[in-house]
Amino acid sequence: MDSRGVLQRGERVASPRDEPALSVKDLGFSYSGEPVLESLSFDLRAGEFAVLLGPNGAGKTTLFSLITRLYAYRQGLIRIGGHDLGRHAIQAHARMGVVFQQPTLDLDLTVRQNLTYHAALHGMAPAEARRRARLQLARVEMPERLRQRVRHLSGGQRRRVEIARALLHEPQLLLLDEPTVGLDIASRRALVDHVHRLCRDQGVAVLWATHLIDEVHPGDRVIVLHRGRIRADGSVTEVASRAGAAAIGEAFDRLTGGAER
Amino acid sequence: MNLASYGHCLRGVVSRELLRFVHQRSRFVAALVRPLVWLFVFAAGFRMALGVAMTEPYQTYVLYEVYIVPGLVGMIQLFNGMQSSLSMVYDREMGSMRVLLVSPFPRWFLLVSKLLAGTLVSIVQVYVFLAIAYLYGVQAPLAGYVLVLPALVVTGFMVGALGMLLSTFVRQLENFAGIMNFVIFPMFFLSSALYPLWRIREGSYLVYQIAALNPFTYAVEMIRFAMYERFHAVASSISLVTALVLLGLAILAYNPARGMMARKGGGGE
């Protein structure tokens, strides 16, 4: 485990501005002998919204499990804000916020209790935690819900609380693993727009994993993942034109569905 | 990040556990009813058949109810430890384990914080139980109620670490019944919780040998002696060492590189 000395050094020296928020190089991972991810490489910069697009089973969740250190990787390199995840996990994790695929809020606790718990996990003092909880909840436009139990919130509201939670420690990188699962169309639309706005306003780098093509905005970067490999990486128009398709949806079908058959 | 931020993290984990405990009233009631049924029904019924002769640390002949109270204290902590391991499996399936593990603090610190939180919850339960037992008539010297506290901390860590370790082996929530049958019951019944070791030996030498190897026996004896203002050095050392070994193994098992998490746990793909 990393020593605290390393941690203190990391606290004083902020990451250089030109370091990508997330850098993945030659990342590979096998699960009981079967390769799940093969030589993945991409960089993500501050303020960039990247949609990690892939059908179910493409390896999106595995990639997230590696970045969040649920599994350890043996092959390749992951850097967050310039900090090597393998060697300096503490600094790397301090710069990362995650919204998991499954809801992870405590239903019986209030919104504020959920948020201050997360703040404590990042070492924040109680007063600072409460201040940031109010701030982030205002940013997701639900300041009046602070004292409500999570159980009484709708699915879309819970997701927004999770996003506020992930941004509480002001990370450089926000990871979202299929965050719209289980939401109705209107809440889904609102959530996608909302995170785009956060990305623009706060300059946080966003990696948004989904298999739903309609969650892609025209200005987004698209990384198409299929069977553990990156099939395309670029702006919406680039990916479409390179695949010889008129629209991104068609390009996605060609890049993934085509390989299926 | 400095020492204070470690303190904030610990406080956060502990207060979440206490808040959850407060909200789960049925869990609290169940945790109390179980030992109380043993005390009121089982012990009262058996006291005619099983008067316990004079045995350390008691100064005099004691009623069976008096004898089994320390064992029931251990039982509360044992169930609580397994309950938190169940909640860790649940947390892992539900993802809140991930929330804990993406905290930038070192993983050993997060796991120790979690164990301490579970131990505190079990100690609250134990003192409520002891208060009811006191009113019922099972009264230890007052100082014993303070002296037992370190023993409760050690026992809480021991069974909590065991639960944590087991939680890495359990793939699904449904398999948890197995833990009940193969861990909680043998640990409880094959120990000195219900009968003194010398009495078990009169019954069956094999069971006696198993009970003498069972670390839970030593935890119960540590609690029993502490309650009566005595310090059982052997039982306390064995309990402490067992707690530390289990804690080390649990931390190892939650290490992403070496542990079981690499093979099991979340990840739908």
Q: Which residues of A touch B19 (CB under 8 A)?
A: 106, 108-109, 113
CA A182 distance to own-chain centroid: 18
Contact: A121, B103; criterion CB under 8 Å: yes
What mean pLDDT do residues A59-63 have?
89
Using the structure block, give the residue that is written with the tokens 């969650």: A215
- Kindly tell me if the per-residue pLDDT of B269 is higher than 50: no
Quick one: DSSP state of residue A101?
S
Q: Do A60 and B269 touch (CB under 8 A)?
A: yes
Average pLDDT, rounded, for chain A? 86
The C-alpha atoms of residue B12 and residue A36 are separated, in whole angstroms, by 36
- pLDDT at position A258 is 54
Q: What value does the mean pLDDT of chain B take?
A: 86
Contact predicate B84/B27, CB 8 Å: no
Report how far apart the first and last C-alpha atoms of chain A are (Å, whole number): 46
Share of chain B above pLDDT 90, in %: 48
Distance of alpha carbon B21 from alpha carbon B12, whole angstroms: 14
CB A152 within 8 A of CB A171: no
Q: Point out the least confidently predicted range of A5-9, A22-26, B124-128.
A: A5-9
Question: What pLDDT is recorded for position A129?
Answer: 93
Task: Name which residue leads in pLDDT, B263 or A105.
Answer: A105
pLDDT tens by residue, A129-156: 999 999 999 888 888 998 999 999 998 8
- Judge whether B140 and B127 are in contact, CB under 8 Å: no
- Give the integer Cα–Cα distance in Å for B68 and A4: 46
Q: Coil, strand, or helix at residue A197?
A: helix
Angstrom distance (rounded) from CA B154 to CA B239: 7
Q: Looking at residues A1-19, what average pLDDT do you find?
A: 44
Residue B19 has pLDDT above 60, yes or no: yes
Measured distance CA(B194)–CA(B190) in Å, rounded = 9
- Asked whether residue B181 carries a pLDDT value surpassing 90, the answer given is no
Q: Report the percent of chain A where pLDDT is more than 70.
A: 92
Task: Give the pLDDT confidence score for residue A10 in this predicted structure.
Answer: 38
Which sign does the torsion angle of CA B195, B201, B204, B206 carry?
Answer: positive
Closest CA in chain A for residue B104: A90
Residue B91 has pLDDT above 80, yes or no: no
> pLDDT digits over A171-198, tens only?
999 999 999 988 888 889 989 998 999 8
More confident residue, B254 or A259: B254
Give pLDDT, residue B102: 82
Q: Which residues pair with A173 in a beta bridge?
A: A96, A205
Q: How far apart are CA A217 and CA B50, in angstroms?
A: 77
In this model, does residue B148 exceed pLDDT 90? yes
Residue A5 DSSP class: H
Q: Flag if A69 and B94 touch (Cβ within 8 Å).
A: no
Residue among B127, B163, B121 nearest B23 (CA) = B121
Contact call for B19 and A113, based on CB within 8 A: yes
Global pTM?
Answer: 0.83
Query: Which residues of chain A have a CB within 8 Å of the CB of B262?
Result: 71-72
Largest separation between any pair of C-alpha atoms in chain A: 57
Residue A26 phi/psi, 5-degree rounding, is 50, 35
Mean pLDDT along residues B151-163: 95
Task: Kindly state whether residue A164 falls inside one of the protein's structural domains.
Answer: yes
Which residues in chain A have their CB less than 8 angstroms from residue B13's CB?
117, 120-121
Question: Among A59-63, A69-73, A210-214, B174-178, which is the least confidently predicted range?
Answer: B174-178
Whole-number pLDDT of residue B214: 95
Report the number of distinct structural domains present in chain A: 1
Determine the 3-state secondary structure of A24 from DSSP. Answer: strand
Interface test with A, best of B28, B103, B110 (most A CBs within 10 A): B103
**Gap from A115 CA to chain B (nearest CA, Å):** 10
Question: Does A21 fall in a domain?
Answer: no
Residue A152 included in any domain: yes
Q: In sequence order, what are the beta bridge partners of A221? A: A50, A235
| Domain extent at residue A134 | 105-170
More confident position, A11 or A233:
A233
Closest residue of chain A to B106, computed from CA coordinates: A1
- Token pair, residue A226, equals 């299929």
Q: What's the Cα-to-Cα distance from B21 to each of B185, B203, B227, rounded to whole Å?
A: 24, 40, 26
Report helix, strand or coil for A36.
Answer: strand
The residue of B92, B99, B101, B264 whose CB has the most chain A CBs within 10 angstroms, and thus the best one to mutate to test that interface, is B99
pLDDT of B93: 66
Answer whether residue B51 shows pLDDT above 50: yes
Q: So what's the pLDDT on residue A209?
A: 94
Given a contact cutoff of 8 angstroms between Cβ atoms, the answer to whether A208 and A176 are in contact is: yes
Could you tell me the pLDDT band of residue B63, with boundaries at 50, 70 and 90?
Answer: confident
Looking at the complex, report in whole angstroms how far the Cα of residue B100 sits from the nearest Cα belonging to chain A: 7
pLDDT above 50 (res B192): yes
Distance from CA of B218 to the nearest CA of A (A): 32
Interior/surface letters B27-60, b for 16+ CB within 10 angstroms, e for the rest: bbeebeeebeebbeebbeebbeeeebeeeebeee
pLDDT (0 to 100) of residue B175: 66
Rg (C-alpha) for chain B, rounded Å, is 19
Sequence-ordered alpha helix ranges (H) in chain B: 3-23, 25-37, 44-46, 64-94, 96-101, 107-136, 142-169, 176-179, 185-189, 197-203, 205-213, 215-227, 233-253
User: For residues A90 and A2, is the Cβ–Cβ distance under 8 A?
Assistant: yes
> For the residues of B100-158, what is the DSSP string, one character each?
HHTSSS-HHHHHHHHHHHHHHHHHHHHHHHHHHHHHHT----HHHHHHHHHHHHHHHHH
DSSP states of A207-237? EEEES-GGG--TT-EEEEEETTEEEEEEEHH
Rounded to an integer, what is the distance from CA B135 to the centroid of its chain? 24
**Dist. CA B153–CA B117, nearest whole Å:** 11
Classify strands A173-177 and A96-99 as parallel, antiparallel or unpaired. parallel
Matching residue, tokens 């927004």: A160
Strand A221-226 and strand A229-235: the pairing is antiparallel
